[in-house]
A and B are shown apart, each in its own frame.
Chain A
Amino acid sequence: MLAKRTLWGVFAIVMTGIVFVTPFIFIMLTASKPLAESNLLQFSWPSHFQLFQNLQEAIAARDFMMLGAFFNSIMLTVVSVTLLVILGAMVGWIWQRRPGKLSKVVNVIVIAGLTLPPAVVPTIWVLQSMGLFKTMSGLILVEIAFGLPFCIILFRAFISTIPREIDEAAIMDGAGAIRLFFQVIFPMLRSVVVTVIILQTVTIYNDFENPLYFLPGAGNETVQTALFNFKSQFLTQYNLLFASVLIIIIPPLIMFILFNRKIVDGMTAGALKG
Protein backbone atom coordinates (compact mmCIF):
# COMPACT_ATOMS: atom_id res chain seq x y z
CA MET A 1 0.00 0.00 0.00
CA LEU A 2 2.72 2.40 1.04
CA ALA A 3 4.87 1.44 -1.95
CA LYS A 4 1.93 2.00 -4.29
CA ARG A 5 1.30 5.42 -2.78
CA THR A 6 4.94 6.43 -3.12
CA LEU A 7 4.97 5.24 -6.71
CA TRP A 8 1.87 7.31 -7.48
CA GLY A 9 3.45 10.28 -5.75
CA VAL A 10 6.63 10.05 -7.78
CA PHE A 11 4.57 9.72 -10.97
CA ALA A 12 2.55 12.82 -10.01
CA ILE A 13 5.70 14.78 -9.22
CA VAL A 14 7.27 13.90 -12.57
CA MET A 15 4.10 14.69 -14.54
CA THR A 16 3.41 18.03 -12.86
CA GLY A 17 7.11 18.78 -13.22
CA ILE A 18 6.93 18.32 -16.98
CA VAL A 19 3.64 20.17 -17.43
CA PHE A 20 3.86 22.98 -14.88
CA VAL A 21 7.54 23.54 -14.06
CA THR A 22 9.23 23.16 -17.48
CA PRO A 23 7.87 26.48 -18.81
CA PHE A 24 9.37 28.35 -15.84
CA ILE A 25 12.73 26.59 -16.20
CA PHE A 26 12.63 27.50 -19.89
CA ILE A 27 12.10 31.16 -18.95
CA MET A 28 15.07 31.03 -16.54
CA LEU A 29 17.38 29.28 -19.01
CA THR A 30 16.55 31.53 -21.95
CA ALA A 31 16.91 34.65 -19.80
CA SER A 32 20.43 33.48 -18.91
CA LYS A 33 21.68 32.85 -22.44
CA PRO A 34 23.79 34.90 -24.86
CA LEU A 35 21.77 36.44 -27.70
CA ALA A 36 22.42 34.05 -30.60
CA GLU A 37 21.95 30.98 -28.45
CA SER A 38 18.67 32.24 -26.98
CA ASN A 39 17.21 32.73 -30.46
CA LEU A 40 17.45 28.96 -31.10
CA LEU A 41 14.63 28.60 -28.51
CA GLN A 42 16.20 25.37 -27.24
CA PHE A 43 15.70 23.83 -23.84
CA SER A 44 19.37 23.65 -22.98
CA TRP A 45 21.90 24.80 -20.42
CA PRO A 46 23.43 28.18 -21.39
CA SER A 47 26.98 27.83 -22.74
CA HIS A 48 27.73 31.12 -21.07
CA PHE A 49 25.65 32.17 -18.07
CA GLN A 50 24.77 35.86 -18.32
CA LEU A 51 21.48 36.30 -16.45
CA PHE A 52 22.49 39.51 -14.68
CA GLN A 53 23.78 41.18 -17.80
CA ASN A 54 20.51 40.32 -19.58
CA LEU A 55 18.41 41.61 -16.69
CA GLN A 56 20.34 44.87 -16.75
CA GLU A 57 19.89 45.23 -20.49
CA ALA A 58 16.18 44.47 -20.26
CA ILE A 59 15.77 47.13 -17.58
CA ALA A 60 17.76 49.70 -19.53
CA ALA A 61 15.95 49.03 -22.83
CA ARG A 62 13.94 51.83 -24.43
CA ASP A 63 15.30 54.44 -22.09
CA PHE A 64 14.55 52.50 -18.88
CA MET A 65 10.92 51.92 -19.83
CA MET A 66 10.74 49.04 -17.36
CA LEU A 67 11.52 51.29 -14.39
CA GLY A 68 8.83 53.78 -15.36
CA ALA A 69 6.44 50.89 -15.85
CA PHE A 70 7.23 49.55 -12.39
CA PHE A 71 6.63 52.98 -10.91
CA ASN A 72 3.23 53.18 -12.64
CA SER A 73 2.28 49.65 -11.64
CA ILE A 74 3.23 50.20 -8.01
CA MET A 75 1.32 53.48 -7.89
CA LEU A 76 -1.75 51.90 -9.51
CA THR A 77 -1.65 48.86 -7.25
CA VAL A 78 -0.99 50.61 -3.95
CA VAL A 79 -3.61 53.33 -4.33
CA SER A 80 -6.30 51.03 -5.78
CA VAL A 81 -5.76 48.34 -3.15
CA THR A 82 -5.77 50.84 -0.26
CA LEU A 83 -9.08 52.32 -1.38
CA LEU A 84 -10.53 48.88 -2.13
CA VAL A 85 -9.75 47.76 1.42
CA ILE A 86 -11.33 50.79 3.10
CA LEU A 87 -14.39 51.04 0.84
CA GLY A 88 -14.90 47.28 0.70
CA ALA A 89 -14.79 46.99 4.50
CA MET A 90 -17.25 49.88 4.93
CA VAL A 91 -19.78 48.34 2.53
CA GLY A 92 -19.25 44.82 3.88
CA TRP A 93 -19.89 46.02 7.41
CA ILE A 94 -23.11 47.95 6.71
CA TRP A 95 -24.31 45.19 4.40
CA GLN A 96 -23.81 42.52 7.06
CA ARG A 97 -25.20 44.58 9.97
CA ARG A 98 -28.31 46.02 8.27
CA PRO A 99 -30.32 43.19 6.86
CA GLY A 100 -33.49 44.07 4.95
CA LYS A 101 -34.66 45.03 1.50
CA LEU A 102 -31.67 47.22 0.79
CA SER A 103 -29.25 44.40 1.55
CA LYS A 104 -30.99 42.32 -1.13
CA VAL A 105 -30.40 45.16 -3.59
CA VAL A 106 -26.72 45.23 -2.61
CA ASN A 107 -26.61 41.48 -3.21
CA VAL A 108 -27.93 41.89 -6.77
CA ILE A 109 -25.44 44.69 -7.48
CA VAL A 110 -22.51 42.64 -6.17
CA ILE A 111 -23.43 39.55 -8.20
CA ALA A 112 -23.95 41.67 -11.32
CA GLY A 113 -20.57 43.32 -10.77
CA LEU A 114 -18.89 39.93 -10.44
CA THR A 115 -20.50 38.40 -13.51
CA LEU A 116 -21.29 40.92 -16.21
CA PRO A 117 -18.63 42.09 -18.63
CA PRO A 118 -18.03 45.85 -18.63
CA ALA A 119 -18.71 47.99 -21.71
CA VAL A 120 -15.30 49.31 -22.62
CA VAL A 121 -15.72 52.20 -25.04
CA PRO A 122 -18.62 53.76 -23.07
CA THR A 123 -16.34 53.62 -20.00
CA ILE A 124 -13.76 55.60 -21.99
CA TRP A 125 -16.55 58.03 -22.87
CA VAL A 126 -17.38 58.50 -19.16
CA LEU A 127 -13.69 58.95 -18.28
CA GLN A 128 -13.24 61.39 -21.16
CA SER A 129 -16.20 63.52 -20.08
CA MET A 130 -14.77 63.73 -16.55
CA GLY A 131 -11.30 64.59 -17.89
CA LEU A 132 -9.94 61.31 -16.48
CA PHE A 133 -9.16 59.39 -19.67
CA LYS A 134 -5.45 58.51 -19.96
CA THR A 135 -4.93 59.47 -16.33
CA MET A 136 -3.79 57.32 -13.45
CA SER A 137 -6.72 58.50 -11.31
CA GLY A 138 -9.16 57.37 -13.98
CA LEU A 139 -7.63 53.90 -14.19
CA ILE A 140 -7.60 53.64 -10.38
CA LEU A 141 -11.32 54.44 -10.21
CA VAL A 142 -12.04 51.79 -12.85
CA GLU A 143 -9.98 49.18 -10.98
CA ILE A 144 -11.91 50.01 -7.80
CA ALA A 145 -15.26 49.67 -9.55
CA PHE A 146 -14.28 46.25 -10.98
CA GLY A 147 -12.60 44.96 -7.81
CA LEU A 148 -15.11 46.05 -5.18
CA PRO A 149 -17.69 43.24 -5.48
CA PHE A 150 -15.15 40.52 -4.67
CA CYS A 151 -13.70 42.52 -1.72
CA ILE A 152 -17.16 43.25 -0.33
CA ILE A 153 -18.01 39.54 -0.30
CA LEU A 154 -14.82 38.65 1.58
CA PHE A 155 -15.36 41.41 4.15
CA ARG A 156 -19.02 40.58 4.69
CA ALA A 157 -18.22 36.91 5.27
CA PHE A 158 -15.57 37.78 7.84
CA ILE A 159 -17.66 40.44 9.59
CA SER A 160 -20.47 37.92 10.09
CA THR A 161 -18.12 36.11 12.49
CA ILE A 162 -17.70 39.23 14.68
CA PRO A 163 -20.38 39.27 17.41
CA ARG A 164 -22.76 42.24 17.37
CA GLU A 165 -22.23 42.63 21.13
CA ILE A 166 -18.90 44.27 20.34
CA ASP A 167 -20.68 46.95 18.27
CA GLU A 168 -23.29 47.37 20.98
CA ALA A 169 -20.72 47.82 23.75
CA ALA A 170 -19.03 50.56 21.73
CA ILE A 171 -22.39 52.20 20.95
CA MET A 172 -23.23 52.17 24.69
CA ASP A 173 -19.93 53.93 25.32
CA GLY A 174 -21.18 56.63 22.99
CA ALA A 175 -19.13 55.82 19.90
CA GLY A 176 -20.52 57.29 16.68
CA ALA A 177 -20.56 55.37 13.41
CA ILE A 178 -17.15 56.60 12.28
CA ARG A 179 -15.42 55.84 15.56
CA LEU A 180 -17.21 52.52 15.84
CA PHE A 181 -16.05 51.49 12.40
CA PHE A 182 -12.51 52.83 12.28
CA GLN A 183 -11.48 52.30 15.90
CA VAL A 184 -13.42 49.20 16.90
CA ILE A 185 -14.36 47.16 13.84
CA PHE A 186 -11.63 47.87 11.31
CA PRO A 187 -8.73 46.82 13.60
CA MET A 188 -10.48 43.46 14.09
CA LEU A 189 -10.50 42.80 10.35
CA ARG A 190 -6.75 42.38 10.16
CA SER A 191 -6.66 38.86 8.82
CA VAL A 192 -9.21 39.46 6.04
CA VAL A 193 -7.55 42.79 5.21
CA VAL A 194 -4.29 40.91 4.59
CA THR A 195 -6.14 38.45 2.34
CA VAL A 196 -7.80 41.23 0.35
CA ILE A 197 -4.50 43.11 -0.01
CA ILE A 198 -2.67 40.06 -1.34
CA LEU A 199 -5.39 38.96 -3.76
CA GLN A 200 -6.09 42.42 -5.15
CA THR A 201 -2.40 43.24 -5.42
CA VAL A 202 -1.82 40.18 -7.60
CA THR A 203 -4.95 40.88 -9.67
CA ILE A 204 -4.28 44.55 -10.33
CA TYR A 205 -0.54 44.07 -10.83
CA ASN A 206 -1.28 41.42 -13.48
CA ASP A 207 -4.08 43.37 -15.14
CA PHE A 208 -3.46 44.02 -18.81
CA GLU A 209 -6.81 44.83 -20.43
CA ASN A 210 -7.76 47.87 -18.31
CA PRO A 211 -4.41 49.71 -18.59
CA LEU A 212 -4.44 48.92 -22.32
CA TYR A 213 -7.81 50.65 -22.78
CA PHE A 214 -7.84 53.36 -20.12
CA LEU A 215 -4.21 54.41 -19.73
CA PRO A 216 -2.67 54.34 -23.23
CA GLY A 217 0.21 56.51 -24.35
CA ALA A 218 3.99 56.63 -24.08
CA GLY A 219 5.21 56.91 -20.50
CA ASN A 220 1.92 55.50 -19.19
CA GLU A 221 2.94 51.82 -19.45
CA THR A 222 2.32 49.47 -16.57
CA VAL A 223 4.57 46.41 -16.37
CA GLN A 224 2.06 44.29 -18.28
CA THR A 225 1.57 46.70 -21.18
CA ALA A 226 5.35 47.30 -21.23
CA LEU A 227 5.95 43.54 -21.47
CA PHE A 228 3.49 43.37 -24.33
CA ASN A 229 5.38 46.14 -26.12
CA PHE A 230 8.65 44.25 -25.62
CA LYS A 231 7.14 41.40 -27.62
CA SER A 232 7.70 43.29 -30.86
CA GLN A 233 10.80 45.12 -29.64
CA PHE A 234 12.66 41.92 -28.66
CA LEU A 235 11.45 39.74 -31.54
CA THR A 236 15.04 38.75 -32.29
CA GLN A 237 16.37 39.06 -28.73
CA TYR A 238 14.71 36.23 -26.88
CA ASN A 239 17.18 36.41 -24.00
CA LEU A 240 16.03 39.96 -23.23
CA LEU A 241 12.35 39.13 -23.80
CA PHE A 242 12.53 36.33 -21.25
CA ALA A 243 14.63 38.43 -18.89
CA SER A 244 11.68 40.87 -18.92
CA VAL A 245 9.19 38.05 -18.36
CA LEU A 246 11.31 36.89 -15.42
CA ILE A 247 11.47 40.36 -13.85
CA ILE A 248 7.70 40.71 -14.08
CA ILE A 249 7.02 37.26 -12.60
CA ILE A 250 9.24 37.83 -9.56
CA PRO A 251 6.88 40.01 -7.43
CA PRO A 252 3.97 37.51 -7.51
CA LEU A 253 6.47 34.69 -6.93
CA ILE A 254 7.72 36.38 -3.76
CA MET A 255 4.15 36.93 -2.59
CA PHE A 256 3.35 33.29 -3.29
CA ILE A 257 6.35 32.06 -1.31
CA LEU A 258 5.42 34.29 1.64
CA PHE A 259 1.64 33.89 1.61
CA ASN A 260 0.95 30.60 -0.17
CA ARG A 261 -1.77 29.40 2.26
CA LYS A 262 -3.38 32.78 2.66
CA ILE A 263 -3.71 33.28 -1.11
CA VAL A 264 -5.20 29.85 -1.72
CA ASP A 265 -7.60 30.07 1.24
CA GLY A 266 -8.64 33.62 0.38
CA MET A 267 -9.35 32.86 -3.25
CA THR A 268 -11.34 29.74 -2.37
CA ALA A 269 -13.32 31.54 0.33
CA GLY A 270 -14.15 34.45 -1.97
CA ALA A 271 -15.11 32.11 -4.81
CA LEU A 272 -17.29 29.81 -2.70
CA LYS A 273 -19.08 32.68 -0.98
CA GLY A 274 -19.70 34.54 -4.22
Chain B
Amino acid sequence: MRARGSAGVGASAATRRHLRSYPLWFYLIPLAIFTMFLVVPTIASFYFSFTRWDLFTSEWIGLRNYQMFLSEPSLLSSARNTIVFAFVTTTLKVVLGFALALVLTSGIIARGYLRSVIFFPVLVSTIGVGLTFSVLMDPERGIINRALGAIGVDGPGWLTDPSLALLSVAAVDVWRGVGFATVIFIAGIVSIPREYYEAAKIDGATGLQVITQIIIPLAKPATITVIILALTGGLRSFDLIWAMTGGGPGFASDVLASAVYKQYQAGFYGLSTAGSVVLFLLVMVIVLPLNWWLNRGDDDAR
Protein backbone atom coordinates (compact mmCIF):
# COMPACT_ATOMS: atom_id res chain seq x y z
CA MET B 1 0.00 0.00 0.00
CA ARG B 2 2.86 2.36 0.80
CA ALA B 3 4.42 1.68 -2.60
CA ARG B 4 1.36 2.99 -4.38
CA GLY B 5 1.79 6.44 -2.81
CA SER B 6 5.46 6.89 -3.67
CA ALA B 7 5.68 5.35 -7.12
CA GLY B 8 2.13 5.51 -8.45
CA VAL B 9 2.38 4.40 -12.08
CA GLY B 10 4.86 1.54 -11.60
CA ALA B 11 2.93 0.10 -8.67
CA SER B 12 -0.43 0.14 -10.41
CA ALA B 13 1.11 -1.60 -13.40
CA ALA B 14 2.53 -4.18 -11.02
CA THR B 15 -0.85 -4.56 -9.32
CA ARG B 16 -2.51 -5.00 -12.68
CA ARG B 17 0.00 -7.63 -13.71
CA HIS B 18 -0.44 -9.16 -10.31
CA LEU B 19 -4.20 -9.44 -10.64
CA ARG B 20 -3.85 -10.85 -14.12
CA SER B 21 -1.87 -13.71 -12.61
CA TYR B 22 -4.78 -14.51 -10.31
CA PRO B 23 -7.66 -14.38 -12.77
CA LEU B 24 -11.21 -14.36 -11.48
CA TRP B 25 -12.37 -16.72 -14.21
CA PHE B 26 -10.83 -19.50 -12.11
CA TYR B 27 -13.97 -19.06 -9.99
CA LEU B 28 -16.24 -19.48 -12.98
CA ILE B 29 -16.84 -23.24 -13.25
CA PRO B 30 -17.07 -23.89 -9.50
CA LEU B 31 -19.38 -20.89 -9.11
CA ALA B 32 -21.58 -22.14 -11.97
CA ILE B 33 -21.88 -25.62 -10.42
CA PHE B 34 -22.50 -24.17 -6.98
CA THR B 35 -25.14 -21.76 -8.27
CA MET B 36 -26.90 -24.36 -10.39
CA PHE B 37 -27.07 -27.13 -7.81
CA LEU B 38 -27.22 -25.28 -4.50
CA VAL B 39 -28.28 -21.65 -4.87
CA VAL B 40 -30.99 -22.09 -7.52
CA PRO B 41 -32.64 -25.10 -5.78
CA THR B 42 -32.58 -23.27 -2.45
CA ILE B 43 -34.23 -20.16 -3.88
CA ALA B 44 -36.67 -22.28 -5.91
CA SER B 45 -37.56 -24.24 -2.77
CA PHE B 46 -39.10 -21.14 -1.20
CA TYR B 47 -41.39 -20.70 -4.19
CA PHE B 48 -42.33 -24.36 -4.69
CA SER B 49 -43.09 -24.83 -1.00
CA PHE B 50 -46.16 -22.64 -1.60
CA THR B 51 -47.42 -24.78 -4.49
CA ARG B 52 -48.92 -28.09 -5.41
CA TRP B 53 -46.23 -29.38 -7.70
CA ASP B 54 -45.33 -32.36 -9.90
CA LEU B 55 -41.96 -31.10 -11.29
CA PHE B 56 -43.63 -29.90 -14.51
CA THR B 57 -46.60 -27.82 -13.43
CA SER B 58 -47.11 -26.01 -10.17
CA GLU B 59 -50.21 -24.46 -8.71
CA TRP B 60 -50.00 -21.74 -6.05
CA ILE B 61 -51.78 -22.87 -2.89
CA GLY B 62 -50.42 -20.31 -0.42
CA LEU B 63 -49.60 -21.55 3.05
CA ARG B 64 -51.43 -24.88 2.71
CA ASN B 65 -48.26 -27.01 2.79
CA TYR B 66 -47.07 -25.28 5.95
CA GLN B 67 -50.51 -25.59 7.54
CA MET B 68 -50.31 -29.28 6.75
CA PHE B 69 -46.97 -29.47 8.53
CA LEU B 70 -48.41 -27.86 11.64
CA SER B 71 -51.65 -29.85 11.71
CA GLU B 72 -50.55 -33.35 10.64
CA PRO B 73 -49.22 -35.05 13.80
CA SER B 74 -46.69 -37.23 11.94
CA LEU B 75 -45.14 -34.21 10.21
CA LEU B 76 -45.12 -32.07 13.32
CA SER B 77 -43.49 -34.85 15.32
CA SER B 78 -40.82 -35.22 12.63
CA ALA B 79 -39.79 -31.62 13.30
CA ARG B 80 -39.71 -32.28 17.04
CA ASN B 81 -37.75 -35.51 16.53
CA THR B 82 -35.19 -33.67 14.40
CA ILE B 83 -34.49 -31.27 17.26
CA VAL B 84 -34.40 -34.04 19.88
CA PHE B 85 -32.09 -36.18 17.74
CA ALA B 86 -29.70 -33.29 17.01
CA PHE B 87 -29.47 -32.16 20.64
CA VAL B 88 -29.13 -35.63 22.14
CA THR B 89 -26.40 -36.70 19.70
CA THR B 90 -24.55 -33.38 19.99
CA THR B 91 -24.55 -33.43 23.79
CA LEU B 92 -23.33 -37.00 23.94
CA LYS B 93 -20.65 -36.43 21.28
CA VAL B 94 -19.33 -33.39 23.16
CA VAL B 95 -19.31 -35.08 26.58
CA LEU B 96 -18.04 -38.50 25.50
CA GLY B 97 -15.66 -37.09 22.87
CA PHE B 98 -14.11 -34.78 25.45
CA ALA B 99 -13.81 -37.56 28.04
CA LEU B 100 -12.21 -39.92 25.51
CA ALA B 101 -9.83 -37.18 24.36
CA LEU B 102 -8.76 -36.60 27.98
CA VAL B 103 -8.07 -40.31 28.39
CA LEU B 104 -6.19 -40.52 25.10
CA THR B 105 -3.96 -37.50 25.93
CA SER B 106 -3.21 -38.68 29.46
CA GLY B 107 -0.24 -40.87 28.52
CA ILE B 108 -2.30 -44.06 28.61
CA ILE B 109 -0.83 -47.19 27.01
CA ALA B 110 -1.91 -48.29 23.49
CA ARG B 111 -2.94 -44.74 22.55
CA GLY B 112 -2.60 -45.31 18.81
CA TYR B 113 -4.65 -48.50 18.95
CA LEU B 114 -7.39 -46.92 21.05
CA ARG B 115 -7.65 -43.85 18.83
CA SER B 116 -7.86 -46.03 15.70
CA VAL B 117 -10.56 -48.27 17.16
CA ILE B 118 -12.68 -45.31 18.27
CA PHE B 119 -12.19 -43.45 14.99
CA PHE B 120 -12.69 -46.24 12.45
CA PRO B 121 -16.54 -46.28 12.56
CA VAL B 122 -16.46 -42.70 11.17
CA LEU B 123 -15.27 -44.16 7.86
CA VAL B 124 -17.71 -47.07 7.69
CA SER B 125 -20.80 -46.95 5.49
CA THR B 126 -23.74 -45.59 7.50
CA ILE B 127 -26.01 -48.13 5.84
CA GLY B 128 -23.70 -50.97 6.90
CA VAL B 129 -23.62 -49.66 10.47
CA GLY B 130 -27.40 -49.24 10.47
CA LEU B 131 -28.07 -52.78 9.22
CA THR B 132 -25.61 -54.26 11.71
CA PHE B 133 -27.06 -52.47 14.72
CA SER B 134 -30.65 -53.16 13.76
CA VAL B 135 -29.67 -56.85 13.99
CA LEU B 136 -27.71 -56.38 17.25
CA MET B 137 -30.73 -54.54 18.69
CA ASP B 138 -33.27 -57.23 17.75
CA PRO B 139 -35.58 -57.56 20.78
CA GLU B 140 -35.41 -61.37 21.19
CA ARG B 141 -32.45 -62.64 19.21
CA GLY B 142 -30.11 -59.61 19.18
CA ILE B 143 -26.88 -59.95 21.15
CA ILE B 144 -27.51 -56.77 23.15
CA ASN B 145 -30.65 -58.17 24.76
CA ARG B 146 -29.08 -61.62 25.06
CA ALA B 147 -26.18 -60.08 26.97
CA LEU B 148 -28.62 -58.16 29.16
CA GLY B 149 -30.65 -61.34 29.67
CA ALA B 150 -27.52 -63.15 30.84
CA ILE B 151 -27.17 -60.70 33.74
CA GLY B 152 -30.90 -60.88 34.48
CA VAL B 153 -32.06 -57.68 32.79
CA ASP B 154 -35.07 -57.82 30.49
CA GLY B 155 -33.87 -55.78 27.52
CA PRO B 156 -36.40 -53.48 25.84
CA GLY B 157 -37.41 -53.47 22.16
CA TRP B 158 -34.76 -50.92 21.21
CA LEU B 159 -36.16 -50.22 17.75
CA THR B 160 -39.70 -51.55 18.15
CA ASP B 161 -40.74 -49.51 21.20
CA PRO B 162 -42.01 -46.16 19.86
CA SER B 163 -40.71 -44.25 22.88
CA LEU B 164 -37.20 -45.72 22.47
CA ALA B 165 -36.62 -46.04 18.70
CA LEU B 166 -35.38 -42.50 18.09
CA LEU B 167 -33.03 -42.60 21.07
CA SER B 168 -31.66 -46.00 20.03
CA VAL B 169 -30.80 -44.64 16.59
CA ALA B 170 -29.28 -41.59 18.29
CA ALA B 171 -27.10 -43.91 20.38
CA VAL B 172 -25.83 -45.64 17.23
CA ASP B 173 -25.19 -42.24 15.64
CA VAL B 174 -23.05 -41.33 18.65
CA TRP B 175 -21.22 -44.67 18.36
CA ARG B 176 -20.45 -43.85 14.74
CA GLY B 177 -19.54 -40.18 15.20
CA VAL B 178 -17.86 -39.91 18.60
CA GLY B 179 -14.47 -40.79 17.09
CA PHE B 180 -14.53 -37.64 14.98
CA ALA B 181 -15.38 -35.49 18.00
CA THR B 182 -12.59 -37.20 19.92
CA VAL B 183 -9.86 -36.47 17.36
CA ILE B 184 -10.94 -32.81 17.15
CA PHE B 185 -10.76 -32.53 20.96
CA ILE B 186 -7.36 -34.26 20.93
CA ALA B 187 -6.08 -31.68 18.42
CA GLY B 188 -7.43 -28.91 20.65
CA ILE B 189 -5.89 -30.34 23.82
CA VAL B 190 -2.41 -31.04 22.41
CA SER B 191 -2.23 -27.48 21.04
CA ILE B 192 -2.35 -26.07 24.60
CA PRO B 193 1.19 -24.86 25.43
CA ARG B 194 2.98 -26.97 28.07
CA GLU B 195 3.73 -23.90 30.20
CA TYR B 196 0.13 -23.81 31.38
CA TYR B 197 0.40 -27.30 32.85
CA GLU B 198 3.78 -26.51 34.40
CA ALA B 199 2.45 -23.34 35.99
CA ALA B 200 -0.57 -25.26 37.30
CA LYS B 201 1.72 -27.91 38.77
CA ILE B 202 3.80 -25.25 40.57
CA ASP B 203 0.62 -23.72 41.96
CA GLY B 204 -0.40 -27.16 43.20
CA ALA B 205 -3.55 -27.47 41.10
CA THR B 206 -5.49 -30.75 41.28
CA GLY B 207 -6.23 -32.82 38.20
CA LEU B 208 -9.83 -31.63 38.21
CA GLN B 209 -8.69 -28.00 38.45
CA VAL B 210 -6.38 -28.52 35.48
CA ILE B 211 -9.35 -29.80 33.47
CA THR B 212 -11.82 -27.08 34.45
CA GLN B 213 -9.40 -24.11 34.65
CA ILE B 214 -7.03 -24.87 31.79
CA ILE B 215 -8.17 -27.55 29.37
CA ILE B 216 -11.86 -26.63 29.03
CA PRO B 217 -11.31 -22.88 28.44
CA LEU B 218 -8.28 -23.35 26.18
CA ALA B 219 -9.86 -26.13 24.12
CA LYS B 220 -12.86 -23.89 23.43
CA PRO B 221 -12.27 -23.60 19.65
CA ALA B 222 -12.33 -27.41 19.41
CA THR B 223 -15.52 -27.55 21.48
CA ILE B 224 -17.20 -24.98 19.23
CA THR B 225 -16.18 -26.97 16.14
CA VAL B 226 -17.56 -30.21 17.56
CA ILE B 227 -20.85 -28.56 18.59
CA ILE B 228 -21.43 -26.88 15.22
CA LEU B 229 -20.49 -29.95 13.17
CA ALA B 230 -22.52 -32.36 15.31
CA LEU B 231 -25.53 -30.06 15.32
CA THR B 232 -25.59 -29.42 11.56
CA GLY B 233 -25.00 -33.12 10.90
CA GLY B 234 -27.64 -34.14 13.43
CA LEU B 235 -30.32 -31.82 12.06
CA ARG B 236 -29.76 -33.15 8.53
CA SER B 237 -29.45 -36.79 9.59
CA PHE B 238 -31.14 -39.24 7.24
CA ASP B 239 -29.09 -42.33 6.26
CA LEU B 240 -28.86 -44.00 9.65
CA ILE B 241 -32.52 -43.47 10.56
CA TRP B 242 -33.61 -44.68 7.14
CA ALA B 243 -31.46 -47.82 7.39
CA MET B 244 -32.46 -48.70 10.96
CA THR B 245 -36.15 -47.87 11.36
CA GLY B 246 -37.36 -46.21 8.16
CA GLY B 247 -38.88 -43.62 10.48
CA GLY B 248 -40.91 -46.22 12.37
CA PRO B 249 -42.46 -47.80 14.28
CA GLY B 250 -45.32 -45.74 12.85
CA PHE B 251 -43.81 -42.28 12.64
CA ALA B 252 -42.04 -42.52 16.00
CA SER B 253 -38.52 -41.98 14.67
CA ASP B 254 -39.32 -39.86 11.62
CA VAL B 255 -37.17 -36.74 11.29
CA LEU B 256 -37.58 -33.90 8.78
CA ALA B 257 -35.14 -35.46 6.30
CA SER B 258 -37.03 -38.77 6.29
CA ALA B 259 -40.42 -37.02 6.11
CA VAL B 260 -39.11 -35.06 3.10
CA TYR B 261 -38.16 -38.35 1.43
CA LYS B 262 -41.50 -40.00 2.24
CA GLN B 263 -43.51 -37.07 0.86
CA TYR B 264 -41.32 -37.06 -2.23
CA GLN B 265 -41.91 -40.79 -2.75
CA ALA B 266 -45.64 -40.26 -2.31
CA GLY B 267 -45.56 -37.61 -5.04
CA PHE B 268 -46.31 -34.62 -2.79
CA TYR B 269 -43.43 -32.53 -4.12
CA GLY B 270 -44.70 -29.22 -2.79
CA LEU B 271 -45.20 -30.63 0.70
CA SER B 272 -41.81 -32.35 0.56
CA THR B 273 -40.17 -29.06 -0.41
CA ALA B 274 -41.94 -27.29 2.45
CA GLY B 275 -40.21 -29.85 4.69
CA SER B 276 -36.85 -28.90 3.16
CA VAL B 277 -37.59 -25.24 3.83
CA VAL B 278 -38.53 -25.99 7.45
CA LEU B 279 -35.24 -27.86 7.85
CA PHE B 280 -33.34 -25.01 6.21
CA LEU B 281 -34.93 -22.48 8.57
CA LEU B 282 -34.33 -24.75 11.56
CA VAL B 283 -30.60 -24.91 10.77
CA MET B 284 -30.50 -21.13 10.24
CA VAL B 285 -32.35 -20.40 13.46
CA ILE B 286 -30.35 -22.81 15.61
CA VAL B 287 -26.84 -22.97 14.14
CA LEU B 288 -26.15 -19.41 13.00
CA PRO B 289 -27.04 -17.63 16.28
CA LEU B 290 -25.32 -20.39 18.25
CA ASN B 291 -22.18 -20.02 16.16
CA TRP B 292 -22.24 -16.26 16.71
CA TRP B 293 -22.89 -16.67 20.44
CA LEU B 294 -20.12 -19.25 20.90
CA ASN B 295 -17.61 -17.11 19.01
CA ARG B 296 -18.57 -13.83 20.71
CA GLY B 297 -15.67 -11.86 22.18
CA ASP B 298 -13.25 -13.99 20.22
CA ASP B 299 -12.13 -11.11 18.05
CA ASP B 300 -11.08 -9.08 21.10
CA ALA B 301 -9.16 -12.04 22.47
CA ARG B 302 -7.12 -12.49 19.32
Contacts and interface: CB of A to CB of B under 8 A. Distances in A.
A9 B108 contact: yes
B183 A209 contact: no
Contact of A122 (B26, B44, B109, B184): B44
A74 interface: no
A40 B141 contact: yes
A180 B279 CA distance: 43
Given A260-B116, A274-B225, 7 more contacts: A21-B117, A41-B138, A43-B143, A117-B283, A224-B126, A241-B131, A256-B116
Contacts of B186: 268
Interface string A109-144: 100011111111111111010100000000001101
Contacts of A219: none
B41 A123 contact: yes
Interface stretch (A51-59, A93-101, A187-195): A93-101
A13 B228 CA distance: 30
Given A19-B175, A26-B143, A227-B125, A12 B110 contact: yes
Contact of A115 (B21, B120, B180, B287): B287
B13 interface: no
Given A6-B109, A117-B276, A148-B33, A206 B125 contact: yes
Nearest to B48: A122
Contact of A141 (B22, B36, B183, B279): B36
Nearest to B44: A122
A177 B19 CA distance: 10
Given A141-B37, A209-B239, A245-B132, A264 B183 contact: yes
Interface residues of B, number: 91
Contacts of A117: 235-236, 257, 276, 279-280, 283
B273 A93 contact: no
A94 B27 contact: yes
B236 A120 contact: no
Interface of A: 5-6, 8-10, 12-13, 16-17, 19-23, 26-27, 30, 40-43, 87-88, 90-91, 93-94, 97-98, 102, 106, 109, 113-126, 128, 130, 141-142, 144-146, 148, 152, 167, 171, 175-177, 180-181, 202, 205-206, 208-209, 212-213, 223-224, 227-228, 231, 238, 241-242, 245, 248-249, 252-253, 255-256, 260, 263-264, 267-268, 271-272, 274
A130 B35 CA distance: 14
A90 B41 CA distance: 25
Interface centre among B22, B103, B117, B277 (most CB of A within 10 A): B22
Interface string B116-156: 11111111111111011101101001110010000000000
A116 B283 contact: yes
B280 A128 contact: no
B34 interface: yes
Nearest to A144: B33
B187 A272 contact: yes
Contact of B187 (A116, A202, A209, A268): A268
B17 interface: yes
15 contacts: A5-B109, A9-B108, A12-B110, A94-B27, A115-B283, A120-B41, A120-B272, A121-B260, A122-B48, A122-B276, A125-B44, A176-B21, A231-B131, A248-B125, A264-B115
A142 B27 CA distance: 17
A145 B38 contact: yes
Interface string B232-263: 10011011001100000000000001001100
Contact of B123 (A20, A202, A227): A202
A208 B127 contact: yes
A125 B264 CA distance: 12
A87 B26 CA distance: 8
A239 to B, nearest CB: 12
A10 B110 CA distance: 9
Interface in B45-94: 45, 48, 53, 55
- Which 4 A-B pairs have CB atoms at the shortest separation, nearest pair first? A9-B109, A119-B45, A122-B41, A145-B37
